[in-house]
Chains A and B, each alone.
Chain A
Amino acid sequence: MAMNLIEAGAGRKKVALVIGSGGAKCAAALGLWQVLQEEGIQVSMAVGSSGGSIYAAAISLGFDLNTAEQLTLSLWTRDLMEGYATNLRRAMTGEVRFTESSGLIDDGPLTERLKTAFGTTSFSDAHIPLYIVSTDFYTGESVVHNNGPVLDAIRASIAIPMIIPPWQVGDRLLVDGAVSDPLPVDVAIKEGAQVILAMGFELPVRKRMRSYTAVTTHLNSLYMNNILKSTFAFHNLAHHAEVVLLLPELDPAIGAFSAEQFPEVIAEGARSAREQLPYLRRLLSQTSLD
Chain B
Amino acid sequence: MNPPKNNRLALVIGSGAVKCAAALGVWKVLNRAGIKVDLLVGCSGGSLFATTMALGYSVDECIELTQRLWNRSITRKRDTRSFLKALLPQVFKFDERFGMIDDHAMFKNLRAVFGERTFTDTVVPLYLLATDFYTGEPVVLDRGTLVYALRASISVPFIWRPWRIGERFLIDGAVSNPLPVDVAIREGVELILAVGFETPAPRRIKSISRFVFHLNSVMTNNLYRANFAFHNLAHHAEIITVLPDFTQQVSLFDTQHIPYVIQQGEHAMEQQLPYLQRLLGENHSS
List residues of A whose CB falls within 8 A of some B CB.
91-92, 94, 97-100, 102, 135, 137-140, 161-162, 179-180, 205-212, 214-216, 218-227, 230-231, 233-234, 237-238
The reply to whether A223 and B89 contact each other, CB–CB distance below 8 Å, is no
Closest residue of A by beta carbon distance from B135: A205
Q: How far is the CA of A126 from the CA of B19 in the complex (A)?
A: 48
B206 CB within 8 Å of chain A? yes
B273 CB within 8 Å of chain A? no
Q: What are 13 A-B residue pairs whose CB atoms fall within 8 Å in the complex?
A: A100-B214, A137-B218, A140-B218, A140-B221, A179-B218, A205-B134, A205-B136, A225-B136, A226-B175, A226-B176, A230-B226, A233-B230, A234-B229
Q: How far is the CB of B97 from chain A (nearest CB, A)?
A: 9
Q: How far is the CB of A46 from chain B (nearest CB, A)?
A: 23
Instruction: Kindly list chain A residues whose C-beta atoms are within 8 Å of the C-beta of B207.
Output: 91, 94, 97-98
Instruction: Kindly list chain A residues whose C-beta atoms are within 8 Å of the C-beta of B204.
Output: 99-100
The reply to whether A234 and B233 contact each other, CB–CB distance below 8 Å, is yes
Q: Which of B96, B201, B207, B219 has the most CB of A within 10 A?
A: B219
B220 CB within 8 Å of chain A? yes
B212 CB within 8 Å of chain A? yes
Q: How far is the CB of B151 from chain A (nearest CB, A)?
A: 19
Q: How far is the CA of A230 from the CA of B86 in the complex (A)?
A: 32
The reply to whether A102 and B175 contact each other, CB–CB distance below 8 Å, is no
The reply to whether A219 and B175 contact each other, CB–CB distance below 8 Å, is yes
Q: How far is the CA of A225 from the CA of B177 in the complex (A)?
A: 12
Closest residue of A by beta carbon distance from B229: A234
The reply to whether B131 and A222 contact each other, CB–CB distance below 8 Å, is yes
B215 CB within 8 Å of chain A? yes
B33 CB within 8 Å of chain A? no
Instruction: Kindly list chain A residues whose C-beta atoms are within 8 Å of the C-beta of B226.
Output: 227, 230-231, 234
Q: How far is the CA of A208 from the CA of B94 in the complex (A)?
A: 10
The reply to whether A230 and B230 contact each other, CB–CB distance below 8 Å, is yes
B208 CB within 8 Å of chain A? yes
B1 CB within 8 Å of chain A? no
Which residues of chain B (172-192) have a CB below 8 Å from chain A?
A: 175-177
Which residues of chain B (220-235) have a CB below 8 Å from chain A?
A: 220-223, 226-227, 229-230, 233-234
Which residues of chain B (125-168) have a CB below 8 Å from chain A?
A: 131, 134-136, 157-158
The reply to whether A212 and B86 contact each other, CB–CB distance below 8 Å, is yes
Q: Which of B87, B158, B210, B218 has the most CB of A within 10 A?
A: B218
The reply to whether A91 and B208 contact each other, CB–CB distance below 8 Å, is yes
Q: How far is the CB of A230 from chain B (nearest CB, A)?
A: 4
Instruction: Kindly list chain A residues whose C-beta atoms are within 8 Å of the C-beta of B211.
Output: 98-100, 102, 161-162
Instruction: Kindly list chain A residues whose C-beta atoms are within 8 Å of the C-beta of B175.
Output: 219, 222-223, 226
The reply to whether A162 and B212 contact each other, CB–CB distance below 8 Å, is yes
Assuming A94-B207, A212-B89, A234-B233, is B157 touching A140 (CB within 8 A)? no
Q: How far is the CA of A207 from the CA of B135 in the complex (A)?
A: 9
Assuming A208-B96, A212-B86, A234-B226, is B219 touching A224 (CB within 8 A)? yes
Which residues of chain B (51-110) have a CB below 8 Å from chain A?
A: 86-87, 89, 94, 96, 98
Contact of B94 among A91, A179, A211, A218 (CB under 8 A): A211
Q: How far is the CA of A102 from the CA of B98 in the complex (A)?
A: 26
The reply to whether A238 and B98 contact each other, CB–CB distance below 8 Å, is no
The reply to whether B205 and A219 contact each other, CB–CB distance below 8 Å, is no
Instruction: Kindly list chain A residues whose C-beta atoms are within 8 Å of the C-beta of B233.
Output: 234, 237-238
Q: How far is the CA of A227 from the CA of B174 in the complex (A)?
A: 12
Instruction: Kindly list chain A residues whose C-beta atoms are within 8 Å of the C-beta of B227.
Output: 230
Q: How far is the CB of B160 from chain A (nearest CB, A)?
A: 13
Which residues of chain B (223-255) have a CB below 8 Å from chain A?
A: 223, 226-227, 229-230, 233-234
B272 CB within 8 Å of chain A? no
Q: How far is the CB of A237 from chain B (nearest CB, A)?
A: 4
The reply to whether A222 and B230 contact each other, CB–CB distance below 8 Å, is no
Instruction: Kindly list chain A residues whose C-beta atoms are within 8 Å of the C-beta of B87.
Output: 212
Closest residue of B by beta carbon distance from A238: B233
Instruction: Kindly list chain A residues whose C-beta atoms are within 8 Å of the C-beta of B229.
Output: 230-231, 234, 238
Instruction: Kindly list chain A residues whose C-beta atoms are within 8 Å of the C-beta of B206.
Output: 97-99
Instruction: Kindly list chain A residues whose C-beta atoms are within 8 Å of the C-beta of B220.
Output: 223
Instruction: Kindly list chain A residues whose C-beta atoms are within 8 Å of the C-beta of B208.
Output: 91-92, 98, 102, 162
